[in-house]
Amino acid sequence: MSRQVGCLLALAICLSTFAGCGGSDEPKLYSVTGQVMFQGGPLPGAQVTFVPDKGPVAIGTTDNEGKFTLRTGVSEGCVEGTCRVAVVLASAGSNELAATMTPEDMQRMAMEGKLNDALKKSQKSLIPEKFNRADNSGLQYTVEKSGENNFTIDLK
């Protein structure tokens, strides 16, 4: 069930980022991989979000070894530049958001300002909450054109 909540959260972030955006120019994306560590070991099942200074967000989910690969929309990769990073691992809790909720429903809730509150009520963070938001996590990485772009995110 927590995987569903993570997917819903990722979808909400994507929808709120792309809402109102126009144009058909797709940004150049660069491969980004990494591993999330917490309390000395890999963190499986976490949602990793890179929020660049300019361009769309990139999202990935850690596997059993805490490893992730970022995607922007349906394409693999992330735009070049400095990115603030969020890591979310939440329990399912009492899920106010139905598993059958459509993207349109989520977008409507986001536009009405109700989605974040519903997500907060439906889950409890299993890691320190400061990592749940890119703007205050203290995590920042730079995606480079000619770089390896393989990051170890150690949640301390």
Judge whether 2 and 122 are in contact, CB under 8 Å: no
Measured in Å, how far apart are the chain's first and last C-alpha atoms? 26
pLDDT given for residue 122 in this prediction = 62
3-state SS, residue 72:
strand
CB atoms within 10 A of CB 12: 20
CB atoms within 10 A of CB 103: 11
Judge whether 16 and 134 are in contact, CB under 8 Å: no
Q: What is the pLDDT of residues 118-154, one digit of tens each?
A: 666 666 788 999 999 999 999 999 999 998 999 999 9
Q: What is the pLDDT of residues 12-67, one digit of tens each?
A: 555 444 444 445 578 999 999 999 999 999 999 999 999 999 999 999 999 999 99
Number of structural domains in the chain: 1
The whole domain housing 147 covers 2-20+27-155
3-state SS, residue 118:
helix
CATH number, domain of 42, equals 2.60.40
